[in-house]
Structure 1
Amino acid sequence: MIHRRRATMAAFLLPAITVYAVFMLYPLGRGIYLSMTDSLGGPIAHFVGTEQYRAMADDPDVTAALWHTILYAAVVVIAQNGLGLLFASMLFRRPKVRKALSVTLLTPTLVSPVMAAFIWSYLFAPDGGINALLGLLGLDSLEHVWLGDTSTALYAVAAVNIWMFAGYSCAIFLAGYMSLPTELLDAAAVDGANGWRRFRSIEWPMLAPALTVNVTLSLIGSLKVFEFPLVLTNGGPAGSTETLTTLVYRNVFGGGKFALGIAISVLLLVTVVVLSSATSSLLRLRERRI
């Protein structure tokens, strides 16, 4: 009976395992192998060991792209989740407008990243909507070439990412808010714990699971960002918005360094796995302590 049950379970699992192996494990293994060759993308490739990784370690463009990727991810994770938490807190306290505003905040996520990037490229243009609005408000001194300045380009690209997915973070935090025990909130109100005190002592600790999900998802998504820097700045100006993903694209499809591009993609994979796993583990440890 036990053997029959195990055979049945194996029969059901086999299709999923096969699909996972074909579409995930094999490409991963093949990619790692190609990163250790001198492949130019064709059928001919010679094994060169860690030569591509040594070249990558000595390449200042890779170092800069890694730094830009991590900085971009840090800005997006902090700002996106901060705004998402703020919006969720406001909507939780205003049930009459919660449904309408929730839909409005989620609307940007329905736009494709490429379309959003094109829209914002016009808004960020020197004669675009943002500078025009600043001029109308009498803030001409704040007008800027947002995507053409190395000191602001990366943050402008990150702002588009934040605009697009802050509503998504808000939805997750709002779900966390809706699961808070009503009795606990009522007792806190009776005890005079309102505003910041209630948020710090009750809401923030109990939103720990939502925070873990939001931070993990936004971190993974921002580390893998591709469309926004490619469409908005194409990695410029002066490489100030070049990320690991755009560098992989440039090497694999336009730079004639196929194997090096694959090695950079392996670096990206390791970066995503290490940072997301470490962050998720720390946040889950915080959940258990709370």
Structure 2
Amino acid sequence: MFRRRGRYTAILFLAPALIVYGLFVLYPLVRGVLLSFTDNMGGPVSNFVGLDQYESLLQDSTALAALGHTVIYAAVVLVVQTTLGLFAASVLAHRRRVRRPVSSLLLLPALISPVMASFIWSYLYRPDGGINNLLGAVGLQALQRIWLGDTSIALYAIAVVNIWMFVGYSCVIFLAGYAGIPQELLDAARIDGANRWQRFWRVEWPMLAPALTVNVTLSLIGSLGVFDFPLVLTNGGPVDSTNTLALLIYRDLFNNSDFAMGAATAVLLLVLVVVVSTAASVLLRRRERAL
């Protein structure tokens, strides 16, 4: 009887959270999927069209370009952010005196809203802004660019903002991984004559596998759904060179009132995020078990 009463009590406490989750997550998700199979243009009337929206989406050059930009953006952010976070963590892990203040400084950009960060970097990226002025001051005028107006580098310039904001997160996650490495292993490797690189590659890197899994998964989920940075910095330009799937959804819904196409694009983005992040997580978990 007491076990049954405890079960009912647990259900009672979980009920509010489950109701909120159902109303604000599951219901919109189901409605969005159903909407993607119609021709709804924002009005009360819609007709079932099957997979027509998805066929149109996969034949749309703008949507395919946005998909490519999203994948490239996510790949750049993943590789650079993870590498910088790992490097910073490997340095700070062996310098206890400066570990806490430096890691706190690295986390400071994450406390700024993405919109505010975008406005700050839009000034820095201006032709007469901080970056070009700094390059000119040190005699590197040849490297000055119209950072957000050049179709070949605008997407990477936006990725820099993302990396700047969240590299601190990556660093802190890796530092948490370092905290789980037994000091005895590092001392034994040092006594055996292993140099700094050998200790990292043979001891630290395998022990950081769980932290790497967390970093990669979070980075992929965040960067594949990027919206704020390209919207504020370039609005998808120049010439749609920074258009992403999330930005395409926004335009379909609010600029073109094409609710069905926006829903189909959202479903495509959801599938992309789930498949890529899940595949990466599964592969990295297998690597953890194999080490």
TM normalised by structure 2 equals 0.97
Letter in 2 for 1:282: L
Q: Matched residues in 2 for 1:15 and 1:111: separation?
A: 31
Aligned equivalents of 1:137 and 1:16: distance in 2? 56
- Is 2:204 aligned against 1:203? yes
Which residue in the other structure is 1:152 paired with? 153
- Partners of 2:7 and 2:144 in 1: CA distance: 67
The CA deviation at 1:256 is 2.9
| CA–CA distance in structure 2, aligned partners of residues 87 and 41 of structure 1 | 49
Question: For the aligned residues, what is the CA RMSD?
Answer: 1.2
1:100 is paired with a residue whose SS is: helix
1:122 is matched by which residue type in structure 2? Y
Q: Take 1:131 and 1:24, find their aligned partners in 2: how far apart are those partners?
A: 44
Deviations 1:218-262 (A, max 9, x none): 110000110101111110111110000000001110023221011
Deviates more, 1:28-37 or 1:16-25: 16-25
Deviation at 1:9, TM superposition (A): 3.5
The one-letter code sitting in structure 2 at the alignment partner of 1:129 is G
Q: CA deviation at 1:4?
A: 4.1
Matches within 5 A, 1:105-254: 105-254=106-255
1:5 Cα shift? 4.3
Offset at 1:20? 1.9
Higher mean displacement: 185-194 or 55-64: 185-194
CA distance in 2, matches of 1:222, 1:79: 12
Q: Deviations over 1:146-192 (max 9, x none)?
A: 11111100000000000000011001101111221011111111111
Distance 1:168 1:13 in 2: 30
Rounded to whole Å, the distance in 1 between the matches of 2:11 and 2:116 is: 44
Moved more, 93-102 or 261-270: 93-102
Letter in 1 for 2:166: F
Residues in 2 aligned to 1:84 and 1:177: alpha-carbon distance in whole angstroms: 12
In 2: Cα distance, 1:230 partner to 1:13 partner: 37
2:90 partner amino acid: S
Query: Residue by residue, what CA displacement relative to the aligned partner does 1:86-143 show, whole Å, maximum 9, x if unpaired?
Result: 0111111111111111111111001100000011011111111111111011011111
CA distance in 2, matches of 1:224, 1:206: 30
CA distance in 1, matches of 2:282, 2:248: 29
Establish whether residue 72 from structure 1 lines up as the match of residue 73 from structure 2: yes
Give the structure 1 partner of residue 98 of structure 2. Answer: 97
CA separation in 2, counterparts of 1:112 and 1:12? 33
Please give the alpha-carbon distance, in whole angstroms, between the structure 1 residues aligned to 2:19 and 2:214.
Answer: 29
Q: What amino acid sits opposite 1:25 in the alignment?
A: L
The amino acid across from 1:144 in the alignment is: R
Q: Distance in 2 between matches of 1:164 and 1:209?
A: 22
Distance 2:163 2:156 in 1: 10
Superposed displacement of residue 48, structure 1: 1.6
Give SS of 1:201's match. Answer: helix
- How far 1:194 sits from its partner (Å)? 2.6
SS of match in other structure, 2:42: coil
Hey, what does 1:84 align to over in structure 2?
85
Amino acid at match of 1:138: G
What code does the residue aligned with 1:170 have? C
> Per the alignment, in what secondary structure is the counterpart of residue 73 of structure 2?
helix
The worse-fitting range, judged by mean Cα deviation, of 208-217 and 95-104 is 95-104
* 1:6-34 per-position Cα deviation (integer Å, ceiling 9, x unaligned): 43443333333222221111110000111
- CA offsets per residue over residues 39-66 of structure 1, 9 Å max, x none? 1223222222111111111111111001
Q: 1:236 aligns to what SS in structure 2?
A: coil
Aligned-partner residue type, residue 115 of structure 2: V
Give the equivalent residue in structure 1 for 2:35.
34
Segments of structure 2 that go 5 or more residues without pairing to the other structure are none
Distance 1:248 1:174 in 2: 37
2: CA distance, partners of 1:163 / 1:12: 40
SS in 2 for 1:49: coil
% identity of equivalent residues? 62
Partner amino acid, structure 2, of 1:268: L
**More deviation, 280-289/182-191:** 182-191
Instruction: Write the letter of the residue equivalent to 1:219.
Output: L
Q: Helix, strand or coil for the counterpart of 1:125?
A: coil
Matched position secondary structure for 1:39: coil
